[in-house]
Amino acid sequence: SQKIEQNSEALNIQEGKTATLTCNYTNYSPAYLQWYRQDPGRGPVFLLLIRENEKEKRKERLKVTFDTTLKQSLFHITASQPADSATYLCALAGNTPLVFGKGTRLSVIA
Amino acid sequence: DAMVIQNPRYQVTQFGKPVTLSCSQTLNHNVMYWYQQKSSQAPKLLFHYYDKDFNNEADTPDNFQSRRPNTSFCFLDIRSPGLGDAAMYLCATSRDSVTVNQPQHFGDGTRLSIL
């Protein structure tokens, strides 16, 4: 069955550093991969989408990579700020509805 | 602002007492979804509507039903809630495709508690 793993449940990082979150998947060949941010008690908010033939996508301080050989996506937040503290979910899209990972809870410490 | 609105934000019901959660959208999107999310878990898709076509996930319990009377509104009915149904229920929309490359727009959820 399809399986999505996000590298750790929680990640603590110092303000100003680059946060790197990992999303690995098995038994799936997604055409697209999406990243969402979820704050406590709120719904997920879409951040970025990357296609299988794109290696990298950027939006302001965010960067996403997609390696279909490694079956992995990396999500980077550069110059991290306390306001970036949230849970970040990856989601795979293909010929079925989105399949979400559990997310990684990022805490940026001032 | 166009958005997805869920009411109520918090719902408490008794074990076995039917409950209905509602979702409305001003985005005029064709697809609406219902997810169940438990603490520190991935959102789990229960079902979705593509316009009026209803699509149930294979592992969604029969206890869960949905209605979509028009483009803007969608309801989640839990006929006989059990303690295991306590969770956050999220409604989402996408423009006109269930798959492929469209982002989903989520409401802020209804947190359901079962007494």
Q: What is the pLDDT of residues B37-60, one digit of tens each?
A: 999 899 999 999 999 999 998 899
| Closest by Cβ to B40, choosing from A9, A31, A97 | A9
Is the model's pLDDT at A10 over the cut of 80? yes
Q: How many whole angstroms separate alpha carbon B68 and alpha carbon B66?
A: 7
Percent of chain B with pLDDT over 70: 96
Torsion of CA B94, B97, B101, B102, to 10 degrees: -10
Question: What residue of B is the nearest CA neighbor of A42?
Answer: B108
Region B83-87 average pLDDT: 96
Q: How many whole angstroms separate alpha carbon A49 and alpha carbon A30?
A: 12
Q: How many whole angstroms separate alpha carbon B52 and alpha carbon A36?
A: 27
| Closest by Cβ to B100, choosing from A32, A44, A100 | A32
Mean of all residue pLDDT scores within chain B: 93
Question: What residue of A is the nearest CA neighbor of B42?
Answer: A102
Inter-residue contact B29 to B96 (CB < 8 Å): yes
pLDDT for position A101: 93
Reduced DSSP (H G I as helix, E B as strand, rest coil) percent helix, strand, coil of chain A, to 5: 5, 55, 40
Q: Read off the pLDDT band of A36 (50, 70, 90).
A: very high
Q: Read off the pLDDT band of B98 (50, 70, 90).
A: low
Percent of chain B with pLDDT over 90: 87
pLDDT for position A97: 82
Tell me how many helices (H) and strands (E) chain A has. 0, 11
Region B76-81 average pLDDT: 96
Phi, psi of B37 (to 5 degrees): -130, 120
Is the model's pLDDT at B2 over the cut of 90? no
Q: How many whole angstroms separate alpha carbon A75 and alpha carbon A36?
A: 10
Q: How many whole angstroms separate alpha carbon B79 and alpha carbon A14?
A: 47
Q: Is A38 helix (H, G, I), strand (E, B) or coil?
A: strand
Is the model's pLDDT at B1 over the cut of 70? no
Test B101 with A49 for CB contact under 8 angstroms. yes
